[in-house]
Amino acid sequence: DGGITQSPKYLFRKEGQNVTLSCEQNLNHDAMYWYRQDPGQGLRLIYYSQIVNDFQKGDIAEGYSVSREKKESFPLTVTSAQKNPTAFYLCASRTLGQGVRNEQFFGPGTRLTVL
């Protein structure tokens, strides 16, 4: 069954703690993305990666870190430096290249709440 999985679905964190959100895809997609969504708002790009061992900052990267050690995996760490981390986090992936269908797909999301 192909797709994008995110875990956990819900995550509760105490202030001052780092947490890591998992994102895995078995679609053989080149690029992976992390977005943040606040209630009633649109999607904001945190980080993205187009190839293994390389990634770029998005619009709101401060307080977050990522790694891309495998093509299938793109974990996001929310650090204690992120001032307001309570939000809905969405992972996405798509293939790249000219002349191919570059359709982007999303995982089911992780809801992070800071207590």
Partner 1 sequence: GIQVEQSPPDLILQEGANSTLRCNFSDSVNNLQWFHQNPWGQLINLFYIPSGTKQNGRLSATTVATERYSLLYISSSQTTDSGVYFCAVVGGNKLVFGAGTILRVKS
Q: What residues line the site for partner 1 (CB under 8 A)?
A: 31, 33, 37, 42-43, 45, 48, 50, 56, 58, 88, 90, 92, 101-106, 108-109, 111
28 vs 56, beta carbon nearer partner 1: 56
CB of 56 to partner 1, least distance (A): 7
80 vs 106, beta carbon nearer partner 1: 106
9 vs 14, beta carbon nearer partner 1: 9
Write out the two tokens for 92. Answer: 């996405």
The answer to whether the peptide bond before residue 8 is cis (omega within 30 degrees of 0) is yes
CB of 98 to partner 1, least distance (A): 9
Write out the two tokens for 112. Answer: 């992070």
What is the C-alpha separation between 66 and 77, in angstroms, rounded? 6
CB of 16 to partner 1, least distance (A): 27
**Alpha-carbon distance values, 104 to 3, 10, 84, 96, 115 (Å):** 11, 23, 27, 10, 33
